[in-house]
Structure 1
Amino acid sequence: MKTAYDVQLFLKQFGCYVYFGDRQLELEFMMDELKEMYHSSLIDKEKWVLSMSILQNELTKIQRK
């Protein structure tokens, strides 16, 4: 995974489709979903850390605008 879109496709594998029309809201929702998936042991720590890092970087870019 390298982009937020890759994370979105990863979530899609679990039946989590994300499109709200507000990118910041989408990123925050994806972060919440990933946290729940990690705590439920659906994904391992490596995937969780990588995904959260990608989303946090994207969220930071949006907030700087």
Structure 2
Amino acid sequence: MESLYDVQQLLKRFGIIVYVGKRIYDIELMSIELKKLFEARLIDQETYLNAKNILVREHRIEESREDQ
């Protein structure tokens, strides 16, 4: 897993499709859904941490775009 698209595909496997309309909000909602999957033990810790790191990175990128 290397990109936001990969995280979206992971969530899609569980029937979770996120589209709010603004990319930063999508990332935040994906993070919430990812945490719920992990807490329900539907994904392992390695998958969770990898996906979470991707979401954190993408969130920072979006924040820097909005600041400009």
Q: In the aligned structure 2, how far is the partner of 1:35 from the partner of 1:16? A: 13
Q: Are residues 1:20 and 2:27 paired?
A: no
Provide the aligned C-alpha RMSD in A. Answer: 0.6
Equivalent residue for 1:35?
A: 35
Equivalent residue for 1:51?
A: 51
Equivalent residue for 1:60?
A: 60
Number of aligned pairs? 65
Q: In the aligned structure 2, how far is the partner of 1:15 from the partner of 1:3? A: 19
Other structure's SS at 1:50 match: helix
Other structure's SS at 1:42 match: coil
Structure 2 unpaired stretches of 5+: none
One-letter amino acid of the structure 2 residue matched with residue 8 of structure 1: Q
Please give the TM-score of this superposition, normalised by the length of structure 2: 0.92
Structure 1 unpaired stretches of 5+: none
Larger of the two Rg values belongs to structure: 2
Q: Which runs of 4+ in 1 moved over 6 A?
A: none
Q: In the aligned structure 1, how far is the partner of 2:55 from the partner of 2:40? A: 20
